[in-house]
Amino acid sequence: MERDRFIFKEVAGTPAEIGREIGQNFSKEIRRTIDTFSFIFTHDFSKSWQWLVEFSKDNFLSSLDGDIKEEMEGIVKGYNSVAPDQINFDDIFALNVTFDAESFLSVGKARNHGSCTSFVATGDYTTDSDVMLAHTTWWRYFTGVNFNLMLKITPDEGLGFVMQTAPGLVFSGTDFYYNEKGIMASETTLDGIDTYNVKGTPIFQRLRLAIQNSNSIDEFAKYIIDGNTGGYANDYLIGDGKNKEIGLLEIATYNHVFLKKNNGFFPSSNYVQFEEVRKESSISYDGSINSDNSRLYRLEELLRNGRKDTLDYKKILSDHHDHFLQKMNPGKNSICGHREIEPNLDAFDKKGPFYPVGSIDGKIVSGEGALRGESQVKWGKPCSDRFDSSLFLSLHPEYSWTKGFLENVESGDWQILSHGWKKR
């Protein structure tokens, strides 16, 4: 796929037909995504791909939704019809379970993500009082480069929707979604959640069913809450373009807070905002300024100051202001993340200096846009800086272990995706 822009692909039909077309069109990308996540589990947890396969089957295969299973089987058939190597159902299933497996393996290790910044607003804080949702994914660059696909799915049963994703996944993974009823959603991963419940339904299934079947914020939230494992614990920012309503669902494993507004905004930056949910976090919120709360305070400062339009949202996503230093300083504390040039440690995410992680994209969708089938997206850093992997490794040989997976993050222009929805 092109590396300086999002690729837009439309698929439709039965679950098997949708899966087969994805497998046939993106076999190389599916192989790269599987190899990347296998590398991550080996490096981070000393676990093999076969361990992940067995964990997935032992815990979640019996509760797998039938249509999702058919789509996964279709991906395998499509892949194997064009690729020189072969994969099987276990590989695609395990790939989708990786988000739960990472949470399972992180219990007791106080692993923190420090990834993504997002916000949703409506009423007095947006042009024409519409709902507006914006998101920039923060991720390790060797993982994030797999996620430059905007996929529109029109299933025979359920709602049409668009999601950012990596080929082989049946949900977003970043997350950015909107459907034909005007329901939109994003998230930022909560730092420090130290609990997990294996007796539940994996998050990939709950999220996929949520965006494909929800006509309201309440319905979307219910899909996330029911059967919760605590995997991929998040702040979910949800919008309803038809009713001009926004919601925030902050959910760990056993505790959650769910709020809605018709006038206001919700910001999110990996910071656990509610005491009820903090019971499950290993982070001590002692008032010191780190990446999570610096970005949250900056978002609140920018969003509370009058109505905002799409151009304003683009500026916010590319913001380099450090709330702690009170000056422009791209790095771990800025909304547009540049951890690769950050020399300072962070008490929340515990990554080393100059760790190759940061913003890889920008996405904006309005309520009216979601209803008519339109959004604006940008691949690469919102500020348009380019990450040069060769230069980075020459300056920071301590990250030579990423060779073979770390790639450039090119920066393209904002794209308008105007795709409409299938008439029903």
C-alpha 386/C-alpha 410 separation (Å) is 5
Give me the mean pLDDT over the 370-396 stretch.
Answer: 98
CB atoms within 10 A of CB 247: 21
Average pLDDT value over all residues in the chain? 95
How many CA atoms are closer than 13 Å to the CA of 331, on its beta-carbon side?
A: 21
pLDDT band of residue 199 (cuts 50, 70, 90) is: very high
Does 346 score more than 90 pLDDT?
A: no
Q: Residue 227 — left, alpha, or beta (φ > 0 → left; ψ -120 to 50 → alpha)? A: left
Does 365 score more than 90 pLDDT?
A: yes
Give me the mean pLDDT over the 411-424 stretch.
Answer: 92
**Closest Cα to residue 6, out of 140, 144, 154?**
144
- The residue among 1 and 227 whose pLDDT is bigger is 227
SS3 377: strand
Q: Which helix (H) or strand (E) holds 347?
A: none
Does 283 score more than 90 pLDDT?
A: no
Percent of the chain with pLDDT strictly greater than 90:
91
How many CA atoms are closer than 13 Å to the CA of 234, on its beta-carbon side?
A: 28
In the block, which residue shows the tokens 């058939």?
77
Percent of the chain with pLDDT strictly greater than 70:
98
Residue 111 is predicted with a pLDDT of 63
- On whether the pTM is more than 0.85, the answer is yes
Give me the mean pLDDT over the 320-344 stretch.
Answer: 95
Residue 110 is predicted with a pLDDT of 63
> Which domains are assigned to the chain?
7-418 (3.60.60.30)
CB atoms within 10 A of CB 127: 13
**Closest Cα to residue 140, out of 340, 390, 400, 423?**
340
Give me the mean pLDDT over the 55-69 stretch.
Answer: 98
Phi, psi at residue 101, to the nearest 5°? -65, -40
DSSP per residue, 155-205: ESSS--EEEEE-TT-SS-SS-EEEETTSEEEEEEEPTTB----SSS--HHH
pLDDT band of residue 355 (cuts 50, 70, 90) is: very high
Does 34 score more than 80 pLDDT?
A: yes
The neighbouring-strand residues paired with 416 are: 376
